Structure 1
Amino acid sequence: MSVLFAIALTTGILSGLWGWVSVSLGLLSWAGFMGCTTYFASPRDGLPGLAESMLTNITGVFWAMVIIKLSSVASLEILGYVVTAVVAFLMCIQAKKSWLGFIPGTFIGSCATFAANGDWQLVLPSLLVGAVFGYAMKASGLWLHKICQKQAVSTVGDTL
């Protein structure tokens, strides 16, 4: 079994489980998939990748709320554009800290918050639990691949 097939299989199974979990917990399934996507896209693997994915998603939610709140201070349309420009700069420059270096994770958290009309209390747990599911999807796929490889080697050894 290839690594890709093993990860695809566990991702499929856990995606169905995520759908049920998200509905059961009252979370946003689509935002959870964004958290999952953040983990899969992260340049780091394992727990460091999970931590970076979650941290950048959290900061993205924070920055989106900054944009939402500051843009509503005055009824000047231009204010929203200026605030967005400044905050987008800050979303990128925070990557100077290595643990906030995954800029797409920040933008994913921000976009999820905008898509949910600023309901950060719902977006945040959805993203974070989704990231955990992403970690579980990949880790379980790698585990399955390893088990299948050992079994294949064992089977070949038995036939010799």
Structure 2
Amino acid sequence: MSVLVAISLTTGVLSGIWGWVSISLGLLSWAGFLGCTSYFASPNSGLKGLAESLITNITGVFWALVIIYFSSIFSIEIIGYIATAVVAFFMCIQAKQTWLSYIPGTFIGSCATFAANGNWQLVVPSIVLGGIFGYLMKASGLWLHNKLNQRSLVTAR
């Protein structure tokens, strides 16, 4: 079995489980899939990739809340656009810090927060658990691939 097929199988099974878990816990299943996607797209894999994606996702939530806050305290619409421009700069420049270098993760967290109308209390656990599920999808797929390949090597001898 190829790595792709093994990861596809475990991703399929765990995606179904995630759907049930997220609804059971009252979380946003789509935000969890964003956390999962963020992990899969991370330039690093394993626990380092998980940490990198989750940290940047959470900073994205923070930056979205900054934009929402500044947009709400002023009645002039252009202030929201200016706040967005300034914050987008900071969302990118924070990547000077190695552990914040995954810029797409920051934007994923921000977009999830906007999509949830600023409900960060729901976005954060959804995106974090989704990221963990993403890690488990890939890790279990790699485990399955290695296990099946070990067995085929033993039987081939």
Shorter-chain TM band: over 0.9
Runs of 4 or more consecutive aligned structure 1 residues displaced over 6 Å after TM superposition: none
Structure 2 CA distance for aligned equivalents of residues 73 and 28 of structure 1: 28
Note the 1:42-121 alignment, pairs <5 A: 42-121=42-121
SS at match of 2:74: coil
Match of 2:4 in 1: 4
The one-letter code sitting in structure 2 at the alignment partner of 1:2 is S
Shift of 1:15: 0.1
Runs of 5+ consecutive residues of structure 1 not aligned to the other structure = none
Offset at residue 155 of structure 1 (A): 1.0
In structure 1, what is the equivalent of residue 28 of structure 2?
A: 28
Instruction: Name the CA distance, whole Å, in 1 between partners of 2:108 and 2:45.
Output: 18
Task: Write the distance in 1 (CA, Å) between the matches of 2:78 and 2:114.
Answer: 18
Q: CA separation in 1, counterparts of 2:34 and 2:82?
A: 27
Shift, 1:72, TM fit: 1.1
Once the two structures are superposed, residues 58-79 of structure 1 have per-residue CA deviations (whole angstroms, 9 ceiling, x without a partner) of 0000000000001111111110
Partner AA of 2:85 in structure 1? A
Deviation at residue 19 of structure 1 after TM alignment: 0.4
The count of corresponding residues between Structure 1 and Structure 2 is: 157
**Identity rate of aligned residues, in percent?**
71
| Structure 1 CA distance for aligned equivalents of residues 79 and 113 of structure 2 | 19
CA drift of 1:28 comes to: 0.2
Once residues 40 and 74 of structure 2 are traced to their aligned partners in structure 1, the CA distance between those partners, rounded to angstroms, is 39
Aligned to 2:75, the other structure's residue is in SS state coil
Compute the RMSD of aligned alpha carbons. Answer: 0.4
Please state how far the C-alpha of 1:56 moved relative to its aligned partner. 0.3
Q: What secondary structure sits across from 1:72 in the alignment?
A: helix
3-state SS of 2:148 partner: helix
| CA–CA distance in structure 1, aligned partners of residues 144 and 100 of structure 2 | 31
The residue number in structure 2 matching 1:125 is: 125
Question: TM-score normalized by structure 1?
Answer: 0.97
What is the distance in 2 between the residues matched to 1:142 and 1:82?
Answer: 45
1:138 paired with 2:138, answer yes
* Alignment deviations for residues 72-119 of structure 1 (CA, whole Å, 9 cap, x no partner): 111111100100000000000000011111000000000000000000
Cα deviation 1:2-58 (Å, max 9, x = unaligned): 000000000000000000000111100000000000000000010000000110000
What TM-score comes out, normalization by structure 2 length?
0.99
